[in-house]
Amino acid sequence: MCPDARFCESHFNSFIKQLPSVASVRTEYIARLEDNDTKVACMHGQRECVGNKLQMCLQAHLPADKNIAWYLDILKCQSQGDVTKVEELKTCMTASGVAADVQDRVAACAAGELGDQLLLQSAKVVKERDVHKSCTVYIAGKRRCIRDGGTWYKCPEGNSAGAFIKQICDAHKESSGSVSTECKAATAANPYVPESPKADAGRLLQGSV
């Protein structure tokens, strides 16, 4: 797995559980579309495609109310082994409490046509958004921040936990018309400190957790 993607997943996992009913996490995968956008070629070969399909099927079949509680934990566990092995993913799912029948559906998805379809859909999303760096952070459909080569940049509101919580909660307030109790508590626990305009202009921002 890309070190920047791993860092982003770990960074978000450090605070996102404070917003279990406000936020959900979705990962997309950078790949090259071929044959008139009907096939996918992963950047690091077929093994990467196998691992990506497992993760796409995982997020497709986890219960929606467990997205925040389980998804990033499972990805972290999986990244410590061979991400192409379904049995290792099952071990990680078991550790998080995922039921056996859900595990079987994830495995069947990754081995079949649905996994290919999900991977193709993800590659099309990435192409439409013109994303070329992993990790690129979107919140409520808007590009918010990029981490590449161990460095954060193009993060107008910062890259701290407080900055991302603010952006998530602002988007939730805009869509719901109210401020959730989860957002109030998370914001209090992770105060947002605006980046200095001078520091954010013309140089890359170093990551902080």
Residue 156 CB contacts under 8 Å (≥ 6 apart), including other chains = 144, 195, 200
Query: How many other C-beta atoms lie within 10 A of the C-beta of residue 71?
Result: 22
Residue 39 has pLDDT above 90, yes or no: yes
Reported as a pLDDT band with limits 50, 70 and 90, residue 44 is confident
- Burial zone of 158 (CB within 10 Å; 0-12 exposed, 13-18 middle, 19+ buried): buried
Question: Which secondary-structure segment (H or E) carries 171?
Answer: helix 161-176
Reported as a pLDDT band with limits 50, 70 and 90, residue 196 is low
Residue 118 has pLDDT above 80, yes or no: yes
Residue 206 has pLDDT above 50, yes or no: no
Q: How far from each other are the two terminal CA atoms of the chain, in whole angstroms?
A: 20
